[in-house]
Structure 1
Amino acid sequence: MSGRAAALAGRVALVTGGGSGLGRAVTRSLHADGARVVITGRNEAALKETAAHFGPQVSYRVCDVSRPDDVEELARGLAGEEISILVNNAGIAGPVAPLTEVTPQEWDEVFDVNVRGVFLMCRAFLPAMTGRGTGDVVNIASVSGKRPLLRRTPYCASKMAVIGLTTTLAGEVGPLGVTVNSLSPGPVSGPRMERNFRLEAERTGSTRARAEQEFVGRSALGRMVTEDEVGEAVVAMLSMRGLCGADIDLSAGMVAR
C-alpha cells in the first residue's frame, strides 16, 4: 500500500466498466490503496474474472449504465453499501467515420453509454453522498473532447459533454460536501487504440503503424499513456482534497502541444 492507503482504507468505490481496460486498471489502483471496490459492466464473464483476480475486496454487479432500470436495480442492490467513491468509466469508442456517414443509431449509442450513463449513475448514487455530506465522483472523459480528432465526432462530442456535466455538477454538490472531477486520458495504449489505428489505416489507405505514429507524434512525450497510469491518476485525484470541478489532462502532453 502507498501512503494514500490510510485515506482509502475502508472506503467503498463503485467503478463502471470495471471488467477490463481502464476500469480494471482503476480497480487495481483503488484495491492496492485499501479500498473495497464494486465493479459493474455488461460482460459478466469479464467482471467475474476481474473480481476473482483481486479477491474478496472486489465484487461485481452486472449493469448496463445506459439503461435506467439497470441502474435503479444496481442502486437497490447496493443500498447496504456506503458507496463514497464513484468512478464513471464505462464508455464506448463509437464509429470511425466522417460525421455525414455516422448513423443516428451510432450517434445515440455513443451518447447513451458515454453521457447518459454518467447522468444515470450520478443521479442514483449522489443522494446518499450528499446526505452524508461526503463523497467523491471521478468521471473519465478524454483529451479528444478538447481538441479535434477527425472522423470521431460522436466520441469527441460525448467526452466534451462529460466535462461540461462535471463542472456544472461540481457546483451543485460541492457545497454539500461532494467533490466531482473529470480525468481526461489519451491516448491510452491498449485494444481500443489498436482498433482505432486499424480503422483509420483502412479508411485512409495507410498502414496501422503510420496511423499510430501520426497520432502519437502529437504528444509532447511522443508516447501513449498506460492503463495503469490512468488508475494511479484516479487515486492521486482522490487524495487532492481541494480538487473540485476540475478536468485533469493525462495525455503525455497531447493537449499541451
Structure 2
Amino acid sequence: MGTGKPVIAGRTAVVTGAGNGLGRAIAVRLAYEGARVVLTGRDKSKLQSVGDEIGEMARIEVVDASSPKSVTELAAALNDEDVSILVNNAGIAGPVAPLWEVEPEQWDEVFATNVRGTYLMCRAFLPSMIDRGRGDVINLASVSGKRPLARRTPYTASKMAVIGLTATLAHEVGPFGVNVNTLSPGPVAGPRMTRNFTLEAQRQGISVEAAEHEFVSRSALQRMVTENEVALAVVAMLRMPGLCGADIDLSAGMVGR
C-alpha cells in the first residue's frame, strides 16, 4: 500500500526571493494549496505586494539569504512557526561576459546569492525538520547548469553547484524523513527573457521576434516554460513522497537526456 498523497494544506513554507518572478508564482500557488507561506526577500515593498495578493495566508520577512546574520535572525523570528517546506528560489543572473572579463567580485556575488544563500537557508531550517522527522526542501537550479551557455560562467557554475549540494544533502537528511530535491527550470517566459531577446536581436541585426524564434526552436515543445508551470512543478514534487535527491528538468524539452 502507498503512503497516500502528502498534504500541503496546513503546512508552513518559506520561499526565498518571493517578491517577484518565480518566487511570487511559487508562493501564490502554495497558498492556493492551503499552505501558510513566509515570503522572504530583500525588498519589503515587493514582498508586501505579493502578501496583499495572497492575503492572510502570508507572512512577510525581509532577509538577505546570502548573509549569515540575516538568515540567523530569520530563523529566530520564525521560531513560532512549524516550517516544514523550504523553497530556495533566491538567485541572481550575474554578468554577461567571457570568463576572463568577469571580475572576482562579480563571481563572488553570484555564488553568495545562488549557492551560499541556499546553504545558509538549509543550515538554518534543517535541524528543526530533522527533530520533527519531516520536511521538504526544493532548491531551484537551472538547466543552464547542465548545458553550455556562453558568457554566463558564474551563473551556470553556481547552478551546477546547487545540484551537487542537493544530491549530497539528500543523503545526509533523508534518513531523518526529510526530502531534498532540485528543480531545474529552462528559460521562463517573462521580462528577463524579453530583455535577452532584445539584446540578441541588436547583436545579430535581426528582429526581436526572430531572436525569440531562433531560441525556442531548440526546445521539443518549441516554447519556453511559464512561471505558473514552475509553481505547479513545485507542488507536484511536494506530493511525491518517494522523491529525494532528484533533479527535475522543466524545460519544454530544452534539455533532453
Same fold (TM over 0.5): yes
Q: Are residue 53 (structure 1) and residue 53 (structure 2) matched? A: yes
Residues 1:196 and 1:106: Cα distance change in structure 2 (over 3 Å) = farther
Q: TM-score, normalised by structure 1?
A: 0.95
SS at match of 1:151: coil
Q: Report what 2:76 is aligned to.
A: 76
Q: Tell me, in whole angstroms, the C-alpha distance in 2 between the residues paired with 1:38 and 1:80.
A: 12
Cα contact 2:6–2:239 (8 A) shared by 1: no
SS at match of 1:61: strand
Q: How many Å apart are 1:207 and its aligned residue?
A: 4.4
Q: Report what 2:8 is aligned to.
A: 8
Q: Report what 1:127 is aligned to.
A: 127
Report which stretch shifted further, 189-198 or 153-162: 189-198
SS at match of 2:7: helix
Cα contact 1:5–1:33 (8 A) shared by 2: no
How big is each residue's C-alpha offset from its partner over 1:199-224, in whole Å with a ceiling of 9 and x where there is no partner?
44445555433332232111100000
Q: Report what 1:155 is aligned to.
A: 155
Residues 1:49 and 1:196: Cα distance change in structure 2 (over 3 Å) = same
Percent identity, aligned pairs only, is 66
Q: Report what 1:247 is aligned to.
A: 247
Q: Report what 1:20 is aligned to.
A: 20
How big is each residue's C-alpha offset from its partner over 1:26-56, in whole Å with a ceiling of 9 and x where there is no partner?
0111111111100100111000111011101
Q: Report what 1:39 is aligned to.
A: 39
Q: Report what 1:170 is aligned to.
A: 170
Indicate the RMSD between aligned Cα atoms, in angstroms: 1.6
SS at match of 1:211: helix
Q: Report what 2:30 is aligned to.
A: 30
Q: How many Å apart are 1:77 and its aligned residue?
A: 0.4
Cα contact 2:14–2:38 (8 A) shared by 1: yes
SS at match of 1:237: helix
Cα contact 2:5–2:240 (8 A) shared by 1: no
Q: How many Å apart are 1:197 and its aligned residue?
A: 2.5
Cα contact 1:6–1:34 (8 A) shared by 2: no
Q: Are residue 182 (structure 1) and residue 182 (structure 2) matched? A: yes
SS at match of 1:8: coil
Cα contact 2:141–2:184 (8 A) shared by 1: yes
Q: How many Å apart are 1:165 and its aligned residue?
A: 0.4
SS at match of 1:91: coil
Residues 1:28 and 1:207: Cα distance change in structure 2 (over 3 Å) = same
Aligned residues, how many? Answer: 254
Cα contact 1:143–1:186 (8 A) shared by 2: yes
SS at match of 1:19: coil
